[in-house]
Structure 1
Amino acid sequence: MLPLRLALPVPILFCAGVHAAEYNFQTPVTSVARSIYDLHTLLLYITITIVVIVFGVMFYAIIRHRKTAGRTAKQFHENTTVEIVWTAIPLLILVGMAWPATQAVLAQKSTRGEDMTVKVTGYQWKWQYDYLDEGVAFMSHLTTPRDGTLKTAGGPYLLEVDEALVVPTGKKVRLILTANDVIHSWWVPALGVKQDAIPGYVRDTWFKVDTPGIYRGQCAELCGKDHGFMPIVVDARTPEEYQKWLAAKKVAAAARVEDPNKVWKLPELMARGEKVYLQNCVACHQVNGGGVPGAFPALAGSKITTTDKPGHIDIVLNGSRKNAAMAAWGKQLSDTELAAVISYGRNAWGNNTGDIVQPKEIKAARGGKV
């Protein structure tokens, strides 16, 4: 297909990552994104041409053959030539659009020959990335404040994360997508990628970035209360820089491995638990533990956090059997993180039970030994 990447004077789309009103799509940085861009431009040109011709003929007929000019209306039918023309022209237009569209769709779906594979799991409301060939995994959370500020020192409003998906340029990256709770959608316009992540299903897509840089997107599926707060950041680096990042990531991951048999003191658990709570639980249960009436229960003064310690461990580890909004955190957090956040919940906001949950208790609970 001929390159048709022109800046068109028509407002097309306000994509993720745009700070001010701009026209047309984001600048494409992958072959798939370029094919989408070119296809969009081609269809726009075809549409403009049809509009000009049809309205041109219509206004010519209205003006040239108006009654005040002495024209008399005439009817015609069964004109073979006209019928052939108005059948052939739409057919040619359809073929002209269908051929490049089919090529673009087939290119999007062809994930064979990948250089690396990353599993992407959507959660309410964050993303988990697992580098399946490298044994590296981490969560990606929103970091910019939600206070209405259009831009912060930390980066674009609602589009900055603590952990970006880092990939090498010039390599075909296959994404395997799923979700742990509800349907999400992984969408980065500049990469030409938009794929739903569906619980219980595995979908895949791919991209190969040409140019190093930061490319931003968002969840494009209405996935719940904080749908607008789960951005996507892809950090494309040269292969050499990517290898340096990967080596450092593996070292950091090894350093974070904690002894599940370590006995923690309450102040240590409270400090660790507060961080885990603010990163994962605050959206539903609020900073003060008050919850959201009618949607998410309060933790401050509740029975589950003040008396029922085994029940508290079970619901955090396995989720709620009565309310699907309470996710199972067992697959998302480590034994130490779970022990810390449960201990925090039992001693914050005036609960003050003095209860301590140790990582070994979480380890036992995973085996059904609460």
Structure 2
Amino acid sequence: MSLKQGLAKLFALIGTMMLGSGVAVADEVVGAPRPKQLGLQEPATDLMRQLETVHNHILMPIITIITLFVLVLLLICIFRFNEKANPVPSKTTHNTLIEVIWTVAPALVLVFIAIFSFPLLYKQLDLPKPDLTIRAIGHQWYWSYEYPDNGNFTFDANLVEKEQLPADKKDLYLLQADNEVVLPVGKNVRVQITATDVIHSWTVPSFGVKHDGVPGRVNESWFNIEKPGIYYGQCSELCGVRHGFMPITVRAVTQEEFAKWVADAQKKFAKVDGTPPVTDVAQTAPAAVASTAN
């Protein structure tokens, strides 16, 4: 393969990656990764849509330009300054202009990126008035959930083993939990995240949510799901030998369906009676409470 053919394939791959997430693919399951997928998962919240815009239209072009610029510099060094083409090497030891350029230019690029990324960072942490609060508690190696606004019941969510999945859902192995987190669409959902043993991370890519669950601390995040469907995530903080077996399955439903599910869940799942709520951590250890995105 010639250098020209190699560069042509490289440019084609970069173009595919930049446009890949914008291609609509009809999936039965919303919010799940697809085999050989390029780009981010389809956004299910306004926050994730803005994150995707910054990623696709701000970060990827900048990264592509920088990568190509460095590639050109490398090719110049390889072909112009090799021993055959340049038998007498340059003895230049300092160039003030170049020093200024490679200091100022990256700083300006970072400032430009910050203009778009900082507002999204603050939006993640600036919680609106919640319509619903849930708690996600990480354990080795499963999640448990509480619904303090809807009867304060709790349930565990464990991995569904591959042999237990239907034939048409084998691709969801490591993503499907036995108990789904059911939430209404169009509501501001506050999720309080903590852990009981080591650090875990509650992550749902379609929501644009990725927050650590730290023992003794409470991280808060929020999202507003725009349309019904099933959305998948996983623990995203290395937490032990079964780190990869902590799926997160969220089913988004209408308000009427959610009310019906709550009525059934109050009978099906255990009450959280006599156990201090997660928010009590803020009263007993104020310095330990954190709301930091990762």
Q: TM (normalized to structure 1)? A: 0.56
Candidates 174, 178, 183, aligned match of 2:199: 183
Candidates 254, 273, 277, aligned match of 1:238: 254
The answer to whether the aligner puts 1:249 opposite 2:265 as a matched pair is yes
Task: Decide whether the 8 Å contact of 1:154 with 1:160 is kept in 2.
Answer: no
Candidates 184, 189, 193, aligned match of 1:173: 189
- Give deviations 1:170-190, integer Å, cap 9, x for gaps: 211111112223322211111
Distance 2:97 2:238 in 1: 51
Q: Which residue of 1 aligns with 2:284?
A: none
Distance 1:162 1:78 in 2: 64
The answer to whether the aligner puts 1:119 opposite 2:135 as a matched pair is yes
Distance 1:47 1:9 in 2: 11
Is there any run of 5+ residues in structure 1 with no aligned partner, and where? 1-5, 259-329, 332-370
Q: Which residue of 2 aligns with 1:27?
A: 42
Task: Decide whether the 8 Å contact of 2:232 with 2:248 is kept in 1.
Answer: yes
Q: Secondary structure at the match of 1:195?
A: strand
Distance 1:199 1:208 in 2: 26
What are the residue-to-residue correspondences of 1:196-211 with 2, within 5 Å?
196-211=212-227
**Residues 152 and 227 from structure 1, CA distance in 2 versus in 1: closer, same or farther, beyond 3 angstroms?**
farther
**Residues 257 and 116 from structure 1, CA distance in 2 versus in 1: closer, same or farther, beyond 3 angstroms?**
closer
Q: Give the drift of 1:117.
A: 0.9
Q: Which residue of 1 aligns with 2:122?
A: 106
Q: Which residue of 2 aligns with 1:160?
A: 176
Q: Give the drift of 1:94.
A: 1.3
Q: Give the drift of 1:70.
A: 8.4
Q: Give the drift of 1:61.
A: 6.7
Q: Secondary structure at the match of 1:233?
A: strand
Structure with bigger gyration radius: 1
- Give deviations 1:332-353, integer Å, cap 9, x for gaps: xxxxxxxxxxxxxxxxxxxxxx
CA RMSD after TM alignment: 3.6
Distance 1:184 1:51 in 2: 34
What are the residue-to-residue correspondences of 1:340-355 with 2, within 5 Å?
none
Q: Percent of pairs identical after alignment?
A: 36
Distance 1:7 1:243 in 2: 43
- Between 1:184-193 and 1:66-75, the stretch displaced more is 66-75
Q: Give the drift of 1:93.
A: 0.9
Distance 2:185 2:176 in 1: 21
Aligned AA (1:101): S
Is there any run of 5+ residues in structure 2 with no aligned partner, and where? 1-14, 22-30, 276-294
Q: Which residue of 2 aligns with 1:8?
A: 17
What are the residue-to-residue correspondences of 1:303-322 with 2, within 5 Å?
none
- Kindly indicate whether structure 1 or structure 2 has the higher relative contact order, using CA contacts under 8 Å at least 6 residues apart: 2
- Give deviations 1:304-337, integer Å, cap 9, x for gaps: xxxxxxxxxxxxxxxxxxxxxxxxxx97xxxxxx
Distance 1:200 1:38 in 2: 35
How many residues are paired up?
248
Q: Which residue of 2 aligns with 1:219?
A: 235
The answer to whether the aligner puts 1:92 opposite 2:92 as a matched pair is no
Q: Give the drift of 1:11.
A: 9.8
Task: Decide whether the 8 Å contact of 1:130 with 1:137 is kept in 2.
Answer: yes
Q: TM (normalized to structure 2)? A: 0.69
Aligned AA (1:176): Q
Aligned AA (2:51): I
Q: Secondary structure at the match of 1:216?
A: strand
- Between 1:38-47 and 1:73-82, the stretch displaced more is 73-82
Q: Secondary structure at the match of 1:94?
A: helix
What are the residue-to-residue correspondences of 1:23-102 with 2, within 5 Å?
23-41=38-56, 42-57=58-73, 59-60=75-76, 63=79, 84-102=100-118
Distance 2:77 2:153 in 1: 67
Q: Give the drift of 1:66.
A: 7.3
Aligned AA (2:33): V
Distance 1:109 1:45 in 2: 27
